[in-house]
Structure 1
């Protein structure tokens, strides 16, 4: 029915997280009236938000796709952290995940399931990717696009960049819903649809994948499924992994989410390590970035909010080690962990810079695969249009 798509997810996530930039420039604020002032206050405070919906085919032959999605997530997050808006701020990233074409899903729902609504929680995104399994089914591209448009909160802020990335290799026009109606609705919501066909480039064109993308100004790509991303082991990997364990100890859980989220953090570390040591290293690098924030359950990240007051947290919601301390003692404890975290993250970043230099020197030509090279070009091109710069 389908061929294995070993590197599809790398490209899918790369393009998704690194081409999807929407940000305001400094000059925009010089005008008399901002467009954002005409919309809700919730949108007004999120002018530099990127919203991405990943629609993944999870039928039988897509095991390669899912495995690559799990492995490549952290590569893409790390690439994305180098992006900076024209006003010198970092964008907020929100990702939603859908699966389609799986017999385990409801036929009444078109073999479609929302796995995750828009989320900026990187551990949660990883967890949901690892929860995916494959099984044969019917792939209705138009219907899954339409479903994501209806179910997700895309917002009305014109400054936000909103994108759909759909992957698969069956004809794009399958199902009762005409994909052209779905892409027309996407345009009305200012959502760009990008398509990745797992197979021959010309075959993807013949089966409407290119048409599905171009109708909204999106990108169409086809993948050579026989090429795999090769991870390069470096002398810095073991040290970074050890630093990641130390990094985890700087988190101070609170509230009802605290314990479960700390467990999730450790579980996703283990999932990355189970795939390959290099994947665990990349995840550790992501955890040292500005995109890995956990203010809903970690006191260190929560303390960055000017309105946060630790004195307002009930004692039973705090970890036992600080539960009986005074407010000032708790604040002092948080500051200590904050300094420790900053030092560990700085060391990870410095080691990663050396690691990347080592990889650049030792990586064989072409080992990244043709898709990754194409994605980098798309990243620079599309990010530039949205007033982004790169560190």
Structure 2
């Protein structure tokens, strides 16, 4: 083969690969074709550069007076929602990432200049920090400006431009959707321009939510309107497997190795959120433990076991002064061997939690017809309907 013909073939192969690379994680189920000529191109454009689809959820919670029940539901049902995403797939096989942002609005303790609105946490996959922020919320009487909090979340958050991302706002409250100077219709129109679906959850009677325009606010963007009893206490059924999972969670925590300047504080936070979940109810602590056994719970920013799985991780860059005392004097090779052992132990414990949870869920299904909470039911119903439109599925 002459040199010019060979260069032409390589260029065509590269062009073909770049054309299909964007479809590598497509939710339309299209997979890149494999050809011998793509081998060189793949070396030039590794799969890691292909953007993975992400589910982005902005949760906007009314924290005015009378909303304590809503906040408690959010605290206790967060883990159910996260656990459902363990089974989500985009297209044929890709597991999407999950990021959640949290806003509170309608609270007198917030700045009036900001419209009584606060971003509690931006888009994040740090489940411990998200839990911490939820538990920090308190209620206080105020003005609830739905249009303004929607617009603020659209402006402040990085929604991105990946067409395969599933982008949703869930706004929950109990005052008329029309309050405030900013017309909610303008805010919802702006959401549509960003490919963001607005779902509304009215805390009260279904018909009252319709009369106060919560339903119209959702339907404008193709979202779902739902009404819940925010004061209804979720009934958790105790199972013979709860104590087993709680004990396994304690063992699981011992597999974490803090590193970096924030490592120790993050490990404390992990323990504190375990305690917060247990203080609500043992069943909530069980659900959190199940989340910690899933792919959704990753802490590479402070846990050496998770960090070491990253392709760009370098043992020589680990600052040993921030490691636990027992590990500070170890060589890189000895540290790597220890981390590998901890990873194996973690995976073993996580598998045990998963097996125990399968038995737990079967027990609940047998003894309790509806074990889901009001907020969880509303969110998952809307999530799955809208996800199906982008070829997401659950298995």
TM-score where L is the length of structure 2: 0.86
Q: Give the Cα separation in 1 of the matches to 2:132 and 2:378.
A: 28
Q: Give the Cα separation in 1 of the matches to 2:271 and 2:374.
A: 34
Matched ranges for 1:56-95 at <5 A: 56-95=61-100
SS at match of 2:313: coil
Q: Give the Cα separation in 1 of the matches to 2:224 and 2:286.
A: 30
Stretch of structure 1 that moved more, 227-236 or 309-318: 309-318
User: How far does the alpha carbon of each residue in 1:88-116 deviate from its partner, in whole angstroms, 9 at most, with x for none?
Assistant: 12111111100000000011110000100
Q: 1:307 to 1:382 in 2, by over 3 A?
A: same
Contact 1:228 1:368 in 2 (8 A): no
SS at match of 2:277: helix
Offset of residue 23 of structure 1: 5.5
Contact 2:69 2:232 in 1 (8 A): no
Following superposition, which runs of at least 4 residues in structure 1 exceed 6 angstroms of deviation? none
What does residue 316 of structure 2 align with? Answer: 311
SS at match of 1:290: coil
Q: Give the Cα separation in 1 of the matches to 2:278 and 2:223.
A: 34
Is the aligned partner of 1:48 residue 2:46?
A: no
Matched ranges for 1:192-211 at <5 A: 192-211=197-216
Is the aligned partner of 1:360 residue 2:365?
A: yes
User: How far does the alpha carbon of each residue in 1:113-144 deviate from its partner, in whole angstroms, 9 at most, with x for none?
Assistant: 01001100000110000000000000000000
User: How far does the alpha carbon of each residue in 1:179-229 deviate from its partner, in whole angstroms, 9 at most, with x for none?
Assistant: 111111111111111001111111111111011111111111111346432
Q: 1:354 to 1:175 in 2, by over 3 A?
A: same
Offset of residue 28 of structure 1: 5.5
Aligned counterpart in structure 1 of residue 273 of structure 2, from 248, 259, 268:
268
Aligned CA-pair RMSD = 2.1
What does residue 383 of structure 1 align with? Answer: 387
Aligned counterpart in structure 2 of residue 165 of structure 1, from 170, 174, 190:
170
Aligned counterpart in structure 2 of residue 252 of structure 1, from 251, 254, 257:
257
User: How far does the alpha carbon of each residue in 1:53-110 deviate from its partner, in whole angstroms, 9 at most, with x for none?
Assistant: 1000000100000011111111111111111222412111111100000000011110
Contact 2:80 2:376 in 1 (8 A): no
SS at match of 1:321: helix
Matched ranges for 1:1-391 at <5 A: 24-27=27-30, 29=32, 45-225=50-230, 227-363=232-368, 365-366=369-370, 368=372, 377-391=381-395
Contact 1:23 1:91 in 2 (8 A): no
SS at match of 1:291: coil
Q: Give the Cα separation in 2 of the matches to 1:369 and 1:293.
A: 26
Q: Give the Cα separation in 2 of the matches to 1:187 and 1:30.
A: 33
Q: 1:225 to 1:123 in 2, by over 3 A?
A: closer
Q: List gaps (5 residues or longer) in structure 2.
A: 1-24, 35-45
Contact 2:166 2:387 in 1 (8 A): no
Q: 1:189 to 1:372 in 2, by over 3 A?
A: closer
Residues paired across the two proteins, number: 359
Higher relative contact order (CA 8 A, sep 6+): 1
Q: Give the Cα separation in 1 of the matches to 2:107 and 2:30.
A: 48
For the pair shown, the structure with the greater C-alpha radius of gyration is 2
